[in-house]
Chain A
Amino acid sequence: MKINPRYYPAIIIATYVIFLLLGILLGFGPERGGEGHENSALIQVAFETLESLK
């Protein structure tokens, strides 16, 4: 399927924004107040799943 070149920049920018938001929604968001961090929600779920399997 052909894509009109005028939509190409919009496709790239939209993809970038969607995946960035997806990353933030998965818990990889900006942290405030120093270097310390907590695991993301996704990693937390993965760890808990692993724990429950043991």
Chain B
Amino acid sequence: MSAAVREKSFSLAKSRRTIQWIVVFGTFVLGLRHIMPGEASRGGSFDSFCAFGGIETLLPYLSTGHLLKSTNLLNFSVLIATLGVALVAGRAFCGWLCGLGAIQDFIAEWTREFFGERRHIRGKQSKTILPLRLPAVVDRSLRYAKYLVLVIILFASLYAAFPPLREFCPVRAVFSLKMTSLLWLTLGIFLAGSILVERFWCKYFCPLGATLAIFNKISPVRLVTDTNHCNNCGRCDIECSMGIADVPINLDHPECVRCMECLNTCARDGSLTIQIRNKENVT
């Protein structure tokens, strides 16, 4: 097989989808494992595998030397790994390795199929009524909510015994299989929200996404637009699951989850490339 043919046969979208399925399956196995007897001997509770659990328990740990209940030191390792990915590639964790992000991508796809989209054509606006695109003003205002959620949780963590988000955490609601009435409510809101708006939780409420957003501005591995090639056709804008406008000039946008769907969709070779940041390509 020639290099050119091999290049064409490779699909970044398929790789991402495969990784997302593996992450979802792995997280379900983790949840299943923790409803079996003997949880304490299994390296900690379900919460201890959560990156955001590390953020929730960080301030109490630094101020008192004690972790919040249901978290353990492993949370810090998972947090370090997530921050490591963010340092290298921005919010790529959200786009590639987050189980909840994957579930939302699947729900958006299934919703479009349910409402009559037989085959998704890249770069073509879907005609289905759901998922919606909220009016720009509402959308922009709601996106600040996740930063507020982050601040509230950090503040509450100083006074809490358990991680403050624990009872409302959609990851637990979807994956942990240990349900409470609050988690059922969370699951209902999460599913309804994800059907209505693509990546609803990521856009508006995810405090981990809020934490990682800043890294899009500093991460060395990034997308770069070649303005000589790009003709602003708008295909990438249509395909962006985070609803970022004018993608080619907003590649370092804090909302970008580095899913690379824009790169997959781009019809003009060389318009978008993945590069390591240097002095020449800093915009």
Q: List the A residue with the shortest CB-CB distance to B78.
A: A20
Hey, which chain B residues are within 8 Å of A19, CB to CB? 80-85
Does residue B263 face the partner (Cβ distance < 8 Å to A)?
yes
Does residue B12 face the partner (Cβ distance < 8 Å to A)?
yes
| Binary contact track A24-53/B, C-beta < 8 Å → 1, others 0 | 101111111111010110000000000000
Hey, which chain A residues are within 8 Å of B89, CB to CB? 8, 11-12, 15
Do A30 and B69 touch across chains, with their CB atoms under 8 A apart? Answer: no
Bound Cα distance from A11 to B12, whole angstroms: 13
Q: Within the complex, which residue of B44, B75, B221 is in contact with A11, where a contact is CB–CB below 8 Å? A: B221
Shortest distance from the beta carbon of A54 to any chain B beta carbon, whole Å: 17
Hey, which chain A residues are within 8 Å of B83, CB to CB? 19
Q: List the A residue with the shortest CB-CB distance to B73.
A: A28
Shortest distance from the beta carbon of A52 to any chain B beta carbon, whole Å: 18
Do B92 and A32 touch across chains, with their CB atoms under 8 A apart? Answer: no
Shortest distance from the beta carbon of A9 to any chain B beta carbon, whole Å: 5
Do A22 and B80 touch across chains, with their CB atoms under 8 A apart? Answer: yes
Shortest distance from the beta carbon of A48 to any chain B beta carbon, whole Å: 14
Does residue B72 face the partner (Cβ distance < 8 Å to A)?
yes
Bound Cα distance from A39 to B84, whole angstroms: 22
Do B72 and A5 touch across chains, with their CB atoms under 8 A apart? Answer: no
Contacts known (A12-B89, A28-B80, A35-B69); A3 close to B274, Cβ less than 8 A: yes
Do B77 and A24 touch across chains, with their CB atoms under 8 A apart? Answer: yes
Bound Cα distance from A35 to B7, whole angstroms: 50
Bound Cα distance from A35 to B75, whole angstroms: 13
Shortest distance from the beta carbon of A16 to any chain B beta carbon, whole Å: 5
Q: List the A residue with the shortest CB-CB distance to B40.
A: A34
Contacts known (A3-B275, A24-B77); A30 close to B84, Cβ less than 8 A: no
Do A28 and B43 touch across chains, with their CB atoms under 8 A apart? Answer: no
Do A13 and B19 touch across chains, with their CB atoms under 8 A apart? Answer: yes
Bound Cα distance from A37 to B41, whole angstroms: 13
Shortest distance from the beta carbon of B151 to any chain A beta carbon, whole Å: 25
Hey, which chain A residues are within 8 Å of B276, CB to CB? 1, 3
Do B88 and A15 touch across chains, with their CB atoms under 8 A apart? Answer: yes
Shortest distance from the beta carbon of B45 to any chain A beta carbon, whole Å: 8
Please report which residues of chain B, range 69-111, place their CB below 8 angstroms from some CB of chain A when the two chains form the complex: 69-70, 72-85, 88-89, 92-93, 96-97
Contacts known (A24-B77, A31-B43); A12 close to B92, Cβ less than 8 A: yes
Shortest distance from the beta carbon of A26 to any chain B beta carbon, whole Å: 8
Q: List the B residue with the shortest CB-CB distance to A31.
A: B72
Do A11 and B81 touch across chains, with their CB atoms under 8 A apart? Answer: no
Q: List the A residue with the shortest CB-CB distance to B92.
A: A12
Does residue B141 face the partner (Cβ distance < 8 Å to A)?
no
Which residues of B line the A interface, CB within 8 A?
7, 10, 12, 15-16, 19, 40-44, 48, 65, 67, 69-70, 72-85, 88-89, 92-93, 96-97, 221, 260, 263, 273-276, 278
12 contacts between A and B (CB under 8 A): A3-B275, A12-B88, A16-B82, A24-B77, A26-B80, A28-B75, A32-B41, A32-B44, A33-B40, A35-B69, A40-B73, A40-B76
